[in-house]
Structure 1
Amino acid sequence: MTRLLVVVPSDTDPPARLGEWLTAAGLELDERHLDAGDPVPADLSGHDGLLVLGGPQSSLDDTATELAPVRDLLARAAADDVPTLAICLGAQLLAQATGGATRVRPDGPEVGATLVARRDAAETDPVFTGLPLSPDVIAWHHDEVERLPSGAVVLAANPVCDIQAYRVGSAVYGLQFHIETTPEIAASWAEHDPVGVASTGLDVEVVSALAAAAHPDLAEVWAPFAGRFAELVRSRAAVR
């Protein structure tokens, strides 16, 4: 079985639908939940790929010591070009781990259902190929990637965030946005993030309803994306 290590920095952001899509695509998920004190391995010698999810922690918070081994693992994954998908907080940690930088968003949080625009480089990327020009996503971040590491390629952007998706090397991906959520997860985030919701000019109910309405389109676009990432992981497993 092809094994994917799944690092869950916070149980507020579980693998959810993305985990289901990856499992359906033939991957065995080895989940490590930081909230439960699960250990993060020092390398990926026992796994064929890596998924790092999001959480309410800030990538800029030096007191969030549980994130240090996640950065170290992402640095190792990037150095070895192991197929990796890092989402939101994960994408910020990936940037930091590989020579980039993050910052608090100067214009305030980006929260709720939105669109991102595929960049030209995505057309020939093995995982991003086939995406529509402007796919639906769920945004939920107060920080962002300010600077990418040398050689990284931007794959998606939108008017409020220049780096929505990027690739390091040939197989390591960072997504600033979320594709794994359910309507219930997004509604819980809205309920517990008054600052983020206030930045939208909408109330909790509307933000939650708009996110819920976007989820069928999310599945249509991002389930095949998950399948292509799974194929990348399986390809690595085949040559190990």
Structure 2
Amino acid sequence: MRFLVAESEPPDARERRRANVGRSSGETFRDLLLQLAPGAEVERATPADADDEIPDRETLAGYDAVFLTGSPLHVYEDTPEARREIEFMRRVFASGTPSFGSCAGLQVAAAAAGGVVRSMGKRREAGITRRITPTDQGRAHPLLAGRAPAWDAITIHNDEVERLPDGALLLARNNETEVQAAEIRMGPGVFWGVQYHPELPLSDMAAALRRDADDLVEAGLVRDRAEVELQSALLDALAREPDRRDLRWRLGVDDELANRDRRSLELRNFIEHLVKPTMAGRGR
């Protein structure tokens, strides 16, 4: 298998994340994909970067899958970075190569295909997003095959998809964010995406909470930085010992979040149910 991971982060955000957790978003994706598909060739691209050439349709068609990472980029702002990301995604759709995105990756795909993305205003989802449930279409969709009737997931975002493109399938929602999972089609391209982060280790989310502590206090999700540190410490501990019942109880989570294989289920389903059949159809 030959995969391309597109880092949605602008260069400064990418370096801040490396300083914060030791890896960029694309490097985190790469590390998990190498575990899910041993022997795969995983390359990275940085389409938001002004000095990085956006791959053309023919080049993108040479990959078996394209993955879009999360990012602090606001795709509804008319910036060079946002325009480059949207152009990249339109080329991915035109190539016919299956694609998957988390968080901002879902938002980029929605905007590229004609949907609308907006700021959440004073609302936030950070750390653990609760009680995600499939829609009627989601219950039968292979992206969510094997998911519990309701599940929690790792997340951090303050933008959301306001309106999916015409013809898109809404697959999951919760009380905070209407579009938690979706399928989007444009031309020959098929995209599966989620608003949460199935690729992230729990320790990466703990670091993200510490990084954004002041914003979380301002948003009213916690009273002070000490509460952020407590939540982050619990996530770090669960990352080290995912089977500890006391940590699961204190965080209010089960296998759907604590177990890495369950947490990354959507990525496994994407590879098994979309990438491999598409490869077979292309004679690969």
Task: Provide the TM-score with structure 2 as the length reference.
Answer: 0.74
Report the counterpart of residue 262 of structure 2 in structure 1.
221
Q: State the 1:36 CA deviation.
A: 10
The Cα offsets for residues 73-98 of structure 1, whole Å up to 9 and x where unpaired, read as: 22233355531111111111111100
Report the counterpart of residue 246 of structure 2 in structure 1.
none
Amino acid across the alignment from 2:55 = P
Match of 1:127, SS state, is helix
Report the counterpart of residue 189 of structure 1 in structure 2.
208
Q: Residues of 2 paired with 1:213 and 1:132: CA distance?
A: 24
Higher relative contact order (CA 8 A, sep 6+): 1
1:111 equivalent to 2:126? Answer yes
1:128 equivalent to 2:144? Answer yes
CA RMSD, Structure 1 to Structure 2 (Å): 2.5
1:238 equivalent to 2:241? Answer no
Amino acid across the alignment from 1:173 = W
Unaligned ranges ≥5, structure 1 = none
Counterpart pick for 2:45 among 32, 35, 44: 32
Change (3 A) 1:66 1:106: closer
Q: Residues of 2 paired with 1:221 and 1:183: CA distance?
A: 13
Q: Residues of 2 paired with 1:16 and 1:114: CA distance?
A: 23
1:82 equivalent to 2:81? Answer no
Change (3 A) 1:60 1:196: farther
Q: State the 1:137 CA deviation.
A: 0.9
Q: Residues of 1 paired with 2:110 and 2:5: CA distance?
A: 18
Runs of 4 or more consecutive aligned structure 1 residues displaced over 4 Å after TM superposition: 15-18, 34-38, 210-216
Report the counterpart of residue 54 of structure 1 in structure 2.
70
- For the Cα contact (< 8 Å) 2:119–2:160, is it kept in 1? yes
Q: Residues of 1 paired with 2:98 and 2:91: CA distance?
A: 11
Larger Rg: 2
Q: Residues of 2 paired with 1:135 and 1:106: CA distance?
A: 25
Report the counterpart of residue 208 of structure 1 in structure 2.
232
Greater mean alpha carbon deviation, residues 100-109 or residues 197-206: 197-206
Counterpart pick for 1:168 among 154, 163, 184: 184
Greater mean alpha carbon deviation, residues 41-50 or residues 220-229: 220-229
The Cα offsets for residues 197-226 of structure 1, whole Å up to 9 and x where unpaired, read as: 543125321332454467644313233432
Greater mean alpha carbon deviation, residues 98-107 or residues 12-21: 12-21
Task: Provide the TM-score with structure 1 as the length reference.
Answer: 0.86
Q: Residues of 1 paired with 2:238 and 2:54: CA distance?
A: 33
Q: Residues of 2 paired with 1:36 and 1:24: CA distance?
A: 31
Amino acid across the alignment from 1:206 = L
Amino acid across the alignment from 2:41 = E
Identity percentage of aligned residues:
31
Number of aligned positions between the proteins: 238
Query: Structure 1 or 2: larger helix share?
Result: 2
- For the Cα contact (< 8 Å) 2:153–2:198, is it kept in 1? yes
Greater mean alpha carbon deviation, residues 83-92 or residues 65-74: 65-74
Amino acid across the alignment from 2:206 = A
The Cα offsets for residues 142-184 of structure 1, whole Å up to 9 and x where unpaired, read as: 1111110001111111101111111113841121111121233
Unaligned ranges ≥5, structure 2 = 18-23, 243-254
Greater mean alpha carbon deviation, residues 163-172 or residues 125-134: 163-172
